[in-house]
Structure formats: C-alpha cells, structure tokens
Amino acid sequence: MHKLSGRFWLETGLAGLSAVLFFATLLWRDWIEIVFRVDPDRGNGSAEWLIVAVTLVAAITCSLLAGREYRRLREAT
C-alpha cells in the first residue's frame, strides 16, 4: 500500500479532535465558561448544545472523508 497522505492524517486528526470536543461538551457543559471565562448564552445552555451538534457533524464528516481517502489510496495500489 502507498504511504498514507497528509490529507488522510489531517482528516483523521480533525475527526479525533471533534470527537473529543463533542464528548467533553456533552459530559461537561460548562467547560467553555471555565476555559474561556465567558458565558456566551448567559447560562441557558444553547451555546453548549450548538457546540455538541457542530462537533458531532464535524467528527462524522471528517471520519467519512478520511475513510474515503484511505479507500482511494488502497485502490491505487
């Protein structure tokens, strides 16, 4: 098999980072206020749910793209 491309590793890394942020926000909703010292939604939780949704979509999308890149490289051999 050919060497895995930088694109594959970028998509895999972004998928992993998105998954970590998804689970962190889902399990520990006030990490944003603690880390950044801001409360963008004034305590109602809407910013956290938006981050949960966005990071879930990003993790799935990047995983699918990395899988497609892996299959493309595997078929090129």
Cα gap 53→6, rounded to integer Å: 27
Nearest-CA neighbor of 65 among 23, 14, 1, 19?
A: 14
The pLDDT tens digits of the residues spanning 47-64 come to 889 999 999 999 999 999
Residue 68 confidence (pLDDT) above 60: yes
Tokens representing 73? Answer: 């490289």
Cα gap 35→37, rounded to integer Å: 6
Look at the block and give the residue holding tokens 């990071």: 55
pTM of the model: 0.83
Q: Where are the domains of the chain?
A: 6-75
pLDDT, residue 32, reads: 84
The pLDDT tens digits of the residues spanning 5-45 come to 999 999 999 999 999 999 999 999 888 888 888 888 888 88
pLDDT, residue 2, reads: 64
